[in-house]
Structure 1
Amino acid sequence: MKIAVLTDSTANISDEMKERYHIHEVYLNVLFHGQAYRENVDMSKEEFYSRMRTESELPTTSQPAVGEYVDKLEELKAAGYTDVIAVHLSSGISGTYQSAITAGDMVEGINVHAVDSEISLTPQAFLCFRAAQMIEEGASIDEIVAELQSMVRNHVAYFMVNDLKNLKKGGRLTGAQAFVGSMLQVKPILHFVETKIVAAEKVRTKKKALKRIEELMAEFLDGETTATGCVLHANAEEEALEWLKDVQKRFPDIHFIVADVTPVIATHLGEGAMALGMVKRDLKL
């Protein structure tokens, strides 16, 4: 048995970490005026944000075509893999997870074990890292899948966006009507609930919103210090690094990663979005 870890580009795993953990990837796309660009490949981050600011219409996004997924599985099979742990962004905002299942049924000689991360970005990557660690430790497929499912029940991310324009237009927000008519000077806080992006709270000013996210994360941890965290940003690295200083003071025993929001996710959250994510595992990264 030879097991591969396969994820999608929204996990935003660095080339270094992909090489370290032998993680494979399929790509989601950003579309401007119907022209598709693979995120992180066909368009630079700078060009993406420039176009999102200046284009008259917001970009749209698309999942990998099933045919592309089939090609990736064939490639893995040719490399000697018998099984694939496929970890994808939340099924509530993308059909990529379902594409993994569909493509798995179409390719003989390789078994696909699809895991719905019910989230995205670096918290999704955490599942991939843990799967790879367990493969190195000689764990069975059942043990790996059970651990990842447990992690899904024990991770969370809270997002602060500047406004709900992108999410509402893209149809990715559940309960958006709760914010209608009260958006002036408000920073919405969002999170994933049962695979969907849900509006959690509305807070006045960015500073108060970030502090509230820290409070919500402390409630989630409930004193637990065996965890790994991430601070995420949509083209706001300087602000993210400043926020990290406060976050580390509040959670001194937890290791944090700072990472970009990928273009596909930034399309929906908008530029300037910030997030704090956590999983109740010390991944020793």
Structure 2
Amino acid sequence: MAEKIALVTDSTNDLNPEVIEKYGIHILPLKVVYADRQYNDRVDITPEEVYATLDEETPKTSVPTPFEAQQMLGKLREEGFTHVLAVHISSGLSGTAEMVKMVSKDFTDLVVEVIDSRSLSMGLGFIVHQAACWLEKKMPFAELVEKARGLVDQLKVFFVVGTLEYLQRGGRIGKVSATVGEFLNVKPIISINSEGIYYTYRKVRGRRRSIDELFNIARAFIEKQKCWVAVMHGGAPEEVVYLRNKVAGLANVEKLVTGQIGPVMVVHAGPGLLGIAVCPALD
């Protein structure tokens, strides 16, 4: 029987809505949870709305519900899909991938493969986008899964934040040291390790120096091969233009994406995030 393959991810992917629509990518939204209300990430709340009340209340976040995953897989089955590739936010930062994996066991008539991206934002987004390009070329499911898994180890994500306070508060600080360095204006450049959790890649004194060093780190990877690059921000619209313009001048940048991180990411990063995701151009 011919394969009919669906591509599923979650709302932390930060892909452009036009890309999601073009390739028919299915999205499971995470939740932004306040004391008296709850929102679906990127569906009924915006990053600006989170920033507007951050001083009054820092919300919590949660994974999509198992019921939502069941509904999505059930709908895909009804639509005649035989295979599902689900690529999700790092399991070191969220239980989303594990939840989808558990729910998928109830769908014995669907072949479901869940990939832990060990990334987030456009790090996750680039894996999904690349998989969508391969899927458009009618790549068989087994090969699609293998190539998408291979991308996980090739992706690089680096970012700086305005303050480590929000990563601490949300319990996502991982191996990043939140010590006296904050008082000395030492800014950690953060990446994601092989376990999918945050760690300090490098330390730089001063905000502007940290942004320039972020560029230098990314440039070292970009100079090796053609790349897709994303320059993302959270409440730092002027600085993201500065960083984007520097990246745009590099010869190996085949695709350059700029955007703002989604509400769930805003909750954990707070204002002032600047990040770069680098992915080999493979399609």
The DSSP-based 3-state class of the residue aligned with 1:173 is coil
Query: What does 1:20-99 correspond to in 2, within 5 Å?
Result: 20-33=22-35, 35-52=37-54, 54-55=55-56, 57-99=57-99
Measure the CA separation in 2 of the matches of 1:114 and 1:162. 33
AA matched with 2:203: K
- Work out the percentage of aligned pairs sharing the same amino acid: 28
Within 2, Cα distance between the matches of 1:205 and 1:250? 24
TM-score between the two structures when normalised by the length of structure 1: 0.93
| 1:86–1:114 Cα contact (<8 Å) kept | yes
Asked if structure 1 preserves the Cα contact closer than 8 Å seen for 2:7 and 2:26, the reply is: yes
Match of 1:280 in 2: 280
**Aligned residues of 2:9 and 2:128 also touching (Cα < 8 A):** yes
State which drifts further: 234-243 or 207-216.
234-243
- 1:191 and 1:17 map into 2 onto residues whose CA distance is 26
User: Are the counterparts in 2 of residues 26 and 64 from structure 1 also a CA contact under 8 Å?
Assistant: yes
- Partners of 1:250 and 1:86 lie apart in 2 by 32
Secondary structure of the 1:19 match is: helix
**1:220 Cα deviation after fit:** 3.1
The residue type equivalent to 2:179 in the other structure is V
Query: Quick check: 1:122–1:259 contact (8 Å CA) kept in 2?
Result: no
CA distance in 1, matches of 2:91, 2:221: 23
- Residue 112 of structure 1 pairs with residue 127 of structure 2: no
Segments of 4+ moved more than 6 angstroms: none
**Which whole-Å CA distance do the structure 2 matches of 1:183 and 1:132 have between them?**
41
Structure 1 segments unaligned to the other structure (5+ residues) = none
Question: What SS does the corresponding residue of 1:254 show, helix, strand or coil?
Answer: strand
Q: CA deviation at 1:186?
A: 2.5
Structure 1 segment 213-228 matched on structure 2, within 5 A: 213-221=214-222, 223-228=223-228
- Is residue 46–residue 263 contact of structure 2 (8 Å, CA) maintained in 1? no
CA distance in structure 1 between the aligned counterparts of 2:251 and 2:262, rounded to whole angstroms: 25
Asked whether the 8 Å contact 2:227–2:252 carries over to 1, the reply is no
Q: Distance in 2 between matches of 1:119 and 1:80?
A: 30
Tell me how far 1:96 sits from its aligned partner. 0.5
Q: CA deviation at 1:73?
A: 0.5
Is the aligned partner of 1:188 residue 2:194?
Answer: no
Task: Give the distance between the partners of 2:62 and 2:15, measured in 1 at CA.
Answer: 19
Q: Deviations over 1:148-203 (max 9, x none)?
A: 11111111110110111011111112224x34112122322111002101122221
Letter in 2 for 1:203: V
- The verdict on how the C-alpha distance between 1:38 and 1:253 changes in structure 2, with shifts beyond 3 A counting, is closer
Please tell me the residue identity of whatever aligns with 2:40: R
SS in 2 for 1:163: coil
Aligned to 1:211: 212
Displacement of 1:140 in angstroms is 1.4
Task: Give the aligned partner of residue 257 of structure 1.
Answer: 257
Query: Would the aligned equivalents of 2:215 and 2:243 in 1 still touch at CA under 8 Å?
Result: no
Aligned partners of 1:227 and 1:278 also within 8 Å? yes
